[in-house]
Amino acid sequence: MAPEPDPQAGHGFDRRMLEALVCPETQGTLEYDPVRQELTSRAAGLAYPIRDGIPVMLVDEARRLD
């Protein structure tokens, strides 16, 4: 029998990376959005995409938060 998928796994994104990553714009903390597969910086008002489990920490690639 196959193991149950881990709902915390985030499609390949390792949440432990949040301890080391900061927003490149503000150097502030990031929050993980598993639904949108993004790391958000409320201080900067930006959401950085996660592609194939790898965060794209480029301001030019980020989406502005509403």
| CATH assignment at residue 46 | 2.20.25.10
Has residue 36 been placed in a domain? Answer: yes
Range of the domain at 26: 15-64
What are the tokens at 6? 């881990």
Give the 3-state secondary structure of residue 40: strand
Has residue 19 been placed in a domain? Answer: yes
The whole-angstrom separation of Cα 51 and Cα 2 is 26
* Helices and strands of the chain, counted as H and E runs: 0, 5
What is the band of 12 on the pLDDT scale with cuts at 50, 70, 90?
confident
What are the tokens at 46? 């930006």
What are the tokens at 2? 């196959």
Has residue 28 been placed in a domain? Answer: yes
Has residue 4 been placed in a domain? Answer: no
Report the domain count for the chain. Answer: 1
User: Average per-residue pLDDT in the chain?
Assistant: 88
Position 34 scores a pLDDT of 94
Name the pTM for this structure.
0.80
